[in-house]
Structure 1
Amino acid sequence: MTTVYDGHCHVASTHFIPRTFVEDVASNVCCYLGSRGVEQRPGRVADGLAAQYEDHLADGLVGEMDAAGIDRAVLLVPDFSLRMPGAPEPVAAARHHHEIRLRHPGRFWVYIGVDPRRGPEGVRAFEQMVDGYGLDGVKLYPPCGYSPSDPGLYPYYEICQTRSLPVFVHTGPTARSLDYGPAHPLRVDKAARDFPRVKFVLGHGGLTHVETSAYLASYRPNVYVDTGGFASGPMLPAWPEHLNRLFRLGVNHKIIFGTDWPLGRLNGFKGLMAEVLDGPTVFAGVSHKDRSLLLHENLLRVLAPRSRPEA
């Protein structure tokens, strides 16, 4: 049996994903359909997408993980609340995710979102959340309007450095109403140099800006790359071939496997993982050792010792 940890998941719930974000995704779906002569009303598409975000306690996610052979997953909790109406404050999101972990023991790690514009009060709240809920890492969403090397984030990084917590950074495109400039992977470089004992994971780095992400991972000992969204990007209809090329770049010791569920849900989570694990393409020519690194060992190397299953 292959141990599989998904390093990039979200709870498919409107409690955490604001309607504005769903509407942004719907606009891209409508653009895609329109180019093929299928006219759709954005509101109807948004309603259909929102209806898929009702798994508030992650029961559906756990069921799909079981069917797909995924042992554990990282739940990423972006902080959209300073940019999008209807998004929860980090404290409320952390409390809810703690309830999910109690409901599904041993299945999830949780990285909570922070924002440098919250100032010292945000830093104190973050430290309290780490202590109170045993959080496993930080989730940054620079498209909300800040650089991952913003000095306002350094107090968070100091806490992460002390507690061996990883920092997961969204890179690449996202919702149309957000800012793409701060999400270039090179924006992480200064922070990675200033905090060499903090592990930074480039979210979607195996999907977009691949060459830049790979060379950062090659030359910065504390930078890793994530594959999240590999089967959902419209630019990658042949995603098995893309993953196979990625796994031949020589940085498999720095790549963390992640799906970005629930995006992959539309392709069928079980079938998606069957193609990854048993299909002829994804791991063609990839050694068994590298396969283990990609599917679970690299994530364990990033996590704090107390968060690892054997702890």
Structure 2
Amino acid sequence: MILDGHCHVASTDFVPRAFIEDVVDSMRRRLAAVGRAPAREALVDSYLAQHQDHDADRLVAEMDAAGVARAVLLVPDFGMVMAGRLDLAAMARRHHEIRQRHPGRFWVYLGADPRRGERGAREFADLADRYAVDGLKLYPPCGYSPSDPALYPYYEECRARRMPVFVHIGPTAHSLSFPFAHPLLIDRAARDFPDLVFVLGHGGVSHVDVTAYLALHRRNVYLDTGGFAGTPDGDWPARLNRLFRLGLNHKIIFGTDWPLNQLSGGMRRLLDRVVHGPEVFAGVPHGDRALLLGENLLRVLPPAPNRSGREAGAGAAS
């Protein structure tokens, strides 16, 4: 059984156009460096066309083809820096409807921004209970540290519900703030909330030396592999293999960051190369594969009894 701990619904209802245009501009700069940059308008139109899977039907089809039983849907809160079609409450409701449309296929981590204050924390708690949200999703490059004390009311709500906190780290859209995306910024919060699980999104790809250090020495810090296939040199199987041989496979959560790689052959091709290819798991103990491909995610999810339709998770740091 494969569980994907890092996905998004490819929909312009949830991803601001400004973010998509930022991604396109970054891509064009990389392509221009080798003399192959297409017209900006064509790239924007292509990305917008790829983000019309409003009910996650195409995502579920990709998961079925790839053998992915269930996935985490991340719902970032860009609202303080980029205008979007829906506010946070509407996005929470829509993701609840997606789960009803595809029973048993998704968990949802809902976004937040500490600049929304205590009222924002109360809204997050209300939405978490109303829609059985499974975790908190933070996007610090929007302009805040994940150890900002203004986030502590949110962390208290997560601790009460035994929900993990997922924190984006590493590069992002060029208009956002890179300094806030450094993984060491989580250390104060991890110490102040030792019984709350923090997952460093993209931690298996960006700042790996730092994220590995944190995961090894902070019992409540995990990292994920989101975006692993997005390396420009195409050497991601070897990179994953090095990651999986660092001795911290009990603290790594597998994630694809779909729809990031939908242009490279889809989820099935990606997972075939991970699971059945000769390189990714070379020299990795066989028992570690189950941890990496699903069991670690189940360990950090909230316990099942008070929420419907969820596999049991221990919700515990280790």
Offset at residue 11 of structure 1 (A): 0.1
CA contact (8 A) 1:23 1:43 kept: no
Deviation digits for residues 218-237 of structure 1 (CA, Å, limit 9, x no counterpart): 00000001000000132x51
Secondary structure of the structure 1 residue equivalent to 2:281: coil
Stretches (4+) displaced over 6 A: none
Alignment of 1:106-185 (within 5 A): 106-185=104-183
CA contact (8 A) 2:298 2:312 kept: no
Work out whether 1:31 is the aligned partner of 2:33.
no
- Match of residue 9 from structure 2: 11
Offset at residue 89 of structure 1 (A): 1.8
Secondary structure of the structure 1 residue equivalent to 2:54: coil
Equivalent of residue 97 in structure 1, options 95, 98, 102: 95
Which range moves more in the overlay, 260-269 or 140-149? Answer: 260-269
Whole-angstrom distance in 2 between the partners of 1:39 and 1:267:
18
The one-letter code of the counterpart of 1:238 is D
Offset at residue 288 of structure 1 (A): 1.7
- Match of residue 271 from structure 2: 273
Q: 1:4 to 1:170 in 2, by over 3 A?
A: same
Deviation digits for residues 142-181 of structure 1 (CA, Å, limit 9, x no counterpart): 0000000011100010111111000000000000100000
Please report the RMSD computed on the Cα atoms of aligned residues, expressed in angstroms. 1.1
Whole-angstrom distance in 2 between the partners of 1:37 and 1:223:
41
Whole-angstrom distance in 2 between the partners of 1:30 and 1:142:
25
Deviation digits for residues 36-74 of structure 1 (CA, Å, limit 9, x no counterpart): 222422222111111100000000000000000100000
Deviation digits for residues 57-109 of structure 1 (CA, Å, limit 9, x no counterpart): 00000000000010000000000011012253211110000000000000000
Equivalent of residue 187 in structure 2, options 182, 186, 189: 189
How does the TM-score come out when normalised to structure 2? 0.95
- Match of residue 246 from structure 1: 243
Where structure 2 has 5 or more consecutive residues not aligned to the other structure, the ranges are 314-318
Deviation digits for residues 83-138 of structure 1 (CA, Å, limit 9, x no counterpart): 01225321111000000000000000000000000011111111111110000000
The one-letter code of the counterpart of 2:141 is P
Work out whether 1:309 is the aligned partner of 2:311.
yes
Q: How many residues align?
A: 308
Alignment of 1:55-74 (within 5 A): 55-74=53-72
The one-letter code of the counterpart of 1:126 is F
Offset at residue 310 of structure 1 (A): 4.2
- Match of residue 281 from structure 2: 283
CA contact (8 A) 1:114 1:139 kept: yes
Whole-angstrom distance in 1 between the partners of 2:121 and 2:312:
30
Alignment of 1:220-259 (within 5 A): 220-234=218-232, 236-259=233-256
Where structure 1 has 5 or more consecutive residues not aligned to the other structure, the ranges are none
Whole-angstrom distance in 1 between the partners of 2:16 and 2:231:
21
The one-letter code of the counterpart of 2:222 is Y
CA contact (8 A) 2:111 2:136 kept: yes
Secondary structure of the structure 2 residue equivalent to 1:80: coil
CA contact (8 A) 2:107 2:133 kept: yes
CA contact (8 A) 1:140 1:169 kept: yes
The one-letter code of the counterpart of 1:192 is A
CA contact (8 A) 1:80 1:87 kept: no
CA contact (8 A) 2:253 2:296 kept: yes
Whole-angstrom distance in 1 between the partners of 2:312 and 2:204:
28
Secondary structure of the structure 2 residue equivalent to 1:263: coil
How does the TM-score come out when normalised to structure 1? 0.97
Secondary structure of the structure 2 residue equivalent to 1:258: coil
CA contact (8 A) 2:190 2:198 kept: yes
Identity %: 61
- Match of residue 316 from structure 2: none
Whole-angstrom distance in 1 between the partners of 2:2 and 2:23:
28
CA contact (8 A) 1:111 1:136 kept: yes
Work out whether 1:45 is the aligned partner of 2:43.
yes
Whole-angstrom distance in 2 between the partners of 1:158 and 1:67:
39
